[in-house]
Amino acid sequence: MDVNRSVATWLIPDFNTSNYINPPEGATHFKLVLATTVLSDYTYSTSIKKYEPANEAKNETNGIALSSEIPLGGMVGSDTTLVVDLGFGSALPATVGVVSAIGIIFYQEINTQFYELASDNALRISIVG
């Protein structure tokens, strides 16, 4: 995350997919995912009797970066860098938090078309700031 909490970067060094990925049956490829969102603190408004975001303009701003399809079996072949730029020109206020999650989506290639598999995909929160 940059100093403004506006740009999330995930650098994945080249690795051997055979050693680090346990794909579901039928998978031939995968994509890596970086998802980032801004969540505002909420305050109670007595006039309307409900909670409202303290920073409505920035609340729920989000972005997703996906790698290209990477074949399973052997080395990826290069480092992979995923970047989500939320587009804020200045530092985010303390009334919002930024959550980044990383994940993997498995695919099966059939006749040069990639079909997302319905199982064993995963996403986990990796940074809250």
Q: Does 4 have pLDDT greater than 90?
A: no
Q: Output the six-digit token pair for 107.
A: 């695919």
Section 9-30 average pLDDT = 96
**Which secondary structure element, helix H or strand E, spans residue 18, and what is its range?**
helix 17-20
pLDDT at 31 over 90: yes
Name the nearest CA neighbour of 25 among 89, 64, 72.
72
Percent pLDDT > 70 in the chain is 100
d(CA 126, CA 108): 27
Residue 78 CA to residue 99 CA, distance in Å, equals: 27
* pLDDT at residue 82, as a whole number: 98
Between 127 and 30, the more confident residue is: 30
